[in-house]
Structure 1
Amino acid sequence: MIDEQTFADYRSRINIKEVLEDAGYTFYKRDGLRYPAYVGLDNNGQRIRGDKFIVMPNKNCCFQPPQIKLYSVTSFIWEHPQLFDEYEFGMKESALVHKVCQRLLNIQVEHKNRSIQNSIARNKPFDIKEYKIERFNPKDFESQKPFYAFFKSRGIDFATRCAFQDSFVLASRTTKEGNSYKNLSFPMYIPGQPDKCVGFEERGYPHKDGSARKGMATGTNASEGVWIASPKNTALKEAQRVYVFESAYDAMAFYQLQMRQESGLDKEGRQDLKEAVYVSTGGNPSYGQIQGLLKAAPQASFHLGFDRDAAGRVFVANFIDIANKRSIVAPENVPHEMREFMESFDKLPKTTKELLDFDDDNYDLLPDDLRELYLTFDRANDLALEYHESHFICKEDKQDAVDKMRMTWKDFKEAFLDRLHLQEGQNLETVNIVRELPSQDYKDFNDELLDKKQFSLTDVVETAFDENGMDLTFERQEENEETKHHGFKR
């Protein structure tokens, strides 16, 4: 007789390394063997920056730096369902854990270092062409009806839907087994690359209690991709304010709450909200997502609307830490051919104006093309000064010399800043970060919109972690779900 396995059995019998490999991660030897690292690969076999899990020594768990949250064998599967072949739309997480773990217990894991080719095959990149897309049209009632239940259950009103109409779709797909499903989907893009959708943040059809499946579409690049939206279609590179949340629902709820404040917003305040850019990381913000946002919107202030809980505070701390370490013109962060020039500064400049006010002796450290542009300006500048001092040059020729000098400086300045991916007038020293919190007693902005006062910050802080830092929230949730589970036996 074969006994039914419990989640505790799985955690004691299965190594977290096997789970990571099964999820498509590849052992990364360069990080050493004492703290084994497993990395995600793109469809070219290259590492995806920020998509790395570190296995804890003497513990059967892993974490994804820079976050401190630890995953066990079962909680990793629970929180990353889309990484496993057994997952199907609508499947309960507890059932998925049983299926994946039982398969792993019945196979002999012989090859610990999954090959790049196998990893690529297992991680087929997202392809939007595999989906049938339906869009929301504020002027067409029939196009609006399929979206109603998704947004009604979340309290998102018609005006907010219209404001974000270009940033959500209904996406339908039929699997190779013939199963069809449809989700409210929020397209994700790599910051700075607005022309290629790299995945969907998904929300399933709501149940009677308002709950719904949430996750990512198969193949989504969640390590770099984010949902990006703006009521006025402001490009990320032009945004003055970027609001960052853990979900698209939270972003839309925040916008709606701000627009209907009892005190009222003036015309300028409402315009600022409409011109801002709203971002969702689709869950835990990764290093790649944060770096991408900082690089794509260097001039923006970042308003962090992460949840009012222990994890939300960690996300804010991680964002601030990455932003503070990212000196835009530090030698290690600039193109290789510009590093020697940047190292010539005794103190890194704070603005592009200071950056361009370098000593003439330093121009020789510039790349050949920029050095030639600078020398062209320098010759034009000398000629303009010579003409200005001469009593034999007519006024028109003097002005022509000044115009040429200004034009050559403009050519050099634009090429110089473009090489460093900078914009004129940019602050190079700090990133302005603002914490946006939901009102007291609400976990997130969507709960506040729904007036769901079911959150105690003290309870979360006291119960979320054990003495070793292991996140117990999902372990408890798993065990509760497990008691309801029947029929899965090894």
Structure 2
Amino acid sequence: MAELNYDDFKRRINIQDLLIDAGYSLNRRDGLRYPSYVRMGSDGKRVRGDKFIVTANGLCCFQPPEQKNYNVISFIKEHPNLFADYTPGMNTDRLVNLVCNRLLNNPMTERSYVNLGREHTQKPFNINDYERLDFLLGAFESQKPFYPYFKARGINLDTQKAFHNNFFIAMKEAKNGKTYANLSFPLRKPFELGRIVGLEERSRATKTGKTIYKGMGAGSDATNGLWIATPAGTPLNKVKDVYWFESAYDAMSYYQIMKDKALATKETNPKESKKIIDTLDKSCFVSTAGNPSVHQYKGMMNQTENANHHLCFDRDRAGRMFAFNFLVAKDNANYRTSQPEQGVMVIDDRGEKYYTDISREDFSLEETIRKLNLNMLMKPNDLTDYLKTLSKEDDLMSGDMGFLNGKTSKAYNRYESLAEEYSSVSGTFSIPMCEEDLASMRKDLNKAYNDFKEAFDKSYKEYQSSPKVIYEPCAPDYKDWNDQLLDKKQYTSENIIESAIDGIEGEYTEQKDGHEEDRTQNNEETEKIEQKHHFRR
């Protein structure tokens, strides 16, 4: 029998069979459309957080919340301890050979793994692999090809012009000889804006308004790369507001909604209208192109430390978790999050677990972070912890002074020490002191109090003007900002996981909006994917 190679293994072995061999069981609670596999503990109960979800094409799996996909080969190589064939120090190619041949009931000769050849690894993203069409201001012919992409999304020409430097049509020749094209939003690292490290891609919409393909360019660095757009070209270290979204379409929709609101007041309040529009143009709009990573969060925070960060993620369970994870990353907290059950976010703090229902309409991010001692300030402040202890919101002195920090705490401690000392010598039963000494102590005490009050007032002023995190999802009746722009009411908040890169399924994980693209079933449109996806000049 001819020796089998990696391509044979990937073609002939089902990823679900491999997961079962590794000790996982089908989790029937999650349904069968996108099967998930969980590990059972010795007590017969599920091991929380240890779950793999099979991707849409059935060839790969991933472990949420991470985006990394595993095929048959990479799963074995990165999880060798899950297989009985493994012994410490074993060559992973040898292990792949043993496991796969065993699953295929294929007898193997000694050391046949030497002839396997290596698994094909995806090459890094290279923008030179694409031909591109740019949207040029003042050149209407260059703008016409973009119409079918933006029309179905309700994004008007003025908004396209505002972001014209931040998208293009990328074309690539496939193995079948046809040239495929997608509206592409370039991904860049916040600290290296001059280099494109990937593409967030969208195909043209069908006649029913359905987008056939949404994904990323092959080899895209989705861990570090972001779509970063500043309409006025403001440098990142100068922007005052950063707006976070899960897609570039949502970012452009938010911009258009807010600008239209400002223009509606142009006649009655022209100065305020102009101020709002100028602020929008000088702001930074960011798309994570799906599930955000800690590296994306921190990379942008490091470059925009003086900016407010507006969390405009989708109004669904995943979007709420993304907002919470942003705050965890900001504060370098030890919390880990998961969604083992529908609607429930589990927050694990080194073994201690906190449960919150993030599917509730009245979900409050602020309430959640208060319980976990996180905060909405981008930078720590002397009063950050203290202000949480106020017994009366209108009385800034009604908090627990033990929660003061920094210079304010030091100033208060000195005042408190002098106050105790003065009280001990000026009371009814104290040892008498001359009036001159008491006057001197009162003077020192008054100065200490004034120093404390000055430090407190300065810290409070800094607190009020300090950059903050602002939770800003779309209106309650919608799932995301593009739906709000289109006035498309929310039907479900289900998150459906799909995989696609450059129109080829099975290579990359991204988030697909269940209600947005699956509201209708149309087999005819599915059969016309190639025709609709193909770019015609």
1:14 match: 18
Partner secondary structure for residue 479 of structure 2: coil
1:339 match: none
Larger mean CA deviation between 236-245 and 68-77 belongs to 68-77
Match runs of 1:77-476 below 5 Å: 122-212=121-211, 213-261=213-261, 262-263=264-265, 266-325=273-332, 432-456=468-492, 460=494
TM-score using structure 1 length: 0.54
- Is the CA contact 2:249–2:482 (under 8 Å) kept in the aligned structure 1? yes
- Is the CA contact 1:16–1:72 (under 8 Å) kept in the aligned structure 2? no
Give the drift of 1:244: 0.6
Distance 1:441 1:297, change over 3 A: same
Distance 1:104 1:306, change over 3 A: farther
Partner secondary structure for residue 172 of structure 1: strand
Q: Distance in 1 between matches of 2:204 and 2:290?
A: 19
Give the drift of 1:300: 1.3
Greater per-residue strand proportion? 2
Give the drift of 1:123: 2.3
- Is the CA contact 1:134–1:169 (under 8 Å) kept in the aligned structure 2? yes
Q: Distance in 2 between matches of 1:148 and 1:171?
A: 15
Give the drift of 1:103: 13
Paired AA for residue 433 in structure 1: V
Give the drift of 1:10: 5.1
Q: Distance in 1 between matches of 2:182 and 2:256?
A: 22
Q: Distance in 2 between matches of 1:225 and 1:157?
A: 27
TM-score using structure 2 length: 0.49
Partner secondary structure for residue 231 of structure 1: coil
- Is the CA contact 2:15–2:61 (under 8 Å) kept in the aligned structure 1? no
- Is the CA contact 2:155–2:256 (under 8 Å) kept in the aligned structure 1? yes
- Is the CA contact 2:248–2:289 (under 8 Å) kept in the aligned structure 1? yes
- Is the CA contact 2:38–2:50 (under 8 Å) kept in the aligned structure 1? no
Distance 1:175 1:103, change over 3 A: farther
Number of residues of Structure 1 aligned to a counterpart in Structure 2? 311
Partner secondary structure for residue 438 of structure 1: coil
**Max Rg structure:** 2
- Is the CA contact 1:240–1:299 (under 8 Å) kept in the aligned structure 2? yes
Distance 1:58 1:298, change over 3 A: same
Partner secondary structure for residue 129 of structure 1: helix
Structure 2: gaps spanning 5 or more residues: 1-12, 25-36, 42-47, 72-99, 267-271, 335-378, 383-404, 407-461, 498-510, 528-537
Q: Distance in 2 between matches of 1:145 and 1:204?
A: 16
- Is the CA contact 1:324–1:430 (under 8 Å) kept in the aligned structure 2? no
Partner secondary structure for residue 171 of structure 2: strand
Q: Distance in 1 between matches of 2:492 and 2:309?
A: 27
Q: Distance in 1 between matches of 2:138 and 2:169?
A: 17
- Is the CA contact 1:186–1:248 (under 8 Å) kept in the aligned structure 2? yes
- Is the CA contact 2:226–2:287 (under 8 Å) kept in the aligned structure 1? yes
Partner secondary structure for residue 137 of structure 2: coil
CA shift digits 1:292-338 (9 cap, x unpaired): 111121111110110001111100010111112279xxxxxxxxxxx
RMSD (Å), alpha carbons: 4.8
Paired AA for residue 258 in structure 1: M
- Is the CA contact 1:244–1:303 (under 8 Å) kept in the aligned structure 2? yes
Q: Distance in 1 between matches of 2:284 and 2:313?
A: 15
Q: Distance in 1 between matches of 2:122 and 2:105?
A: 21
- Is the CA contact 2:60–2:70 (under 8 Å) kept in the aligned structure 1? no
Partner secondary structure for residue 253 of structure 2: helix
Match runs of 1:17-32 below 5 Å: none
CA shift digits 1:372-420 (9 cap, x unpaired): xxxxxxxxxxxxxxxxxxxxxxxxxxxxxxxxxxxxxxxxxxxxxxxxx
Distance 1:200 1:74, change over 3 A: closer
Structure 1: gaps spanning 5 or more residues: 1-8, 19-32, 35-54, 60-66, 86-101, 328-347, 356-425, 465-470
Distance 1:83 1:73, change over 3 A: closer
Distance 1:287 1:69, change over 3 A: farther
CA shift digits 1:21-48 (9 cap, x unpaired): xxxxxxxxxxxx99xxxxxxxxxxxxxx
Q: Distance in 1 between matches of 2:107 and 2:466?
A: 48
Paired AA for residue 308 in structure 1: R
Paired AA for residue 230 in structure 1: T
- Is the CA contact 2:253–2:485 (under 8 Å) kept in the aligned structure 1? yes
Partner secondary structure for residue 280 of structure 2: helix
Match runs of 1:5-84 below 5 Å: 12-15=16-19, 57-58=39-40, 71-75=52-56
1:413 match: none
Larger mean CA deviation between 162-171 and 317-326 belongs to 317-326
Q: Distance in 2 between matches of 1:273 and 1:143?
A: 26
Give the drift of 1:439: 1.3
Paired AA for residue 320 in structure 2: R
Distance 1:440 1:168, change over 3 A: same
Paired AA for residue 274 in structure 2: K
Percent sequence identity is 34
2:504 match: none
Q: Distance in 2 between matches of 1:450 and 1:178?
A: 37
CA shift digits 1:265-303 (9 cap, x unpaired): 521111100000000000111111112111121111110
- Is the CA contact 1:323–1:431 (under 8 Å) kept in the aligned structure 2? no
Larger mean CA deviation between 292-301 and 302-311 belongs to 292-301
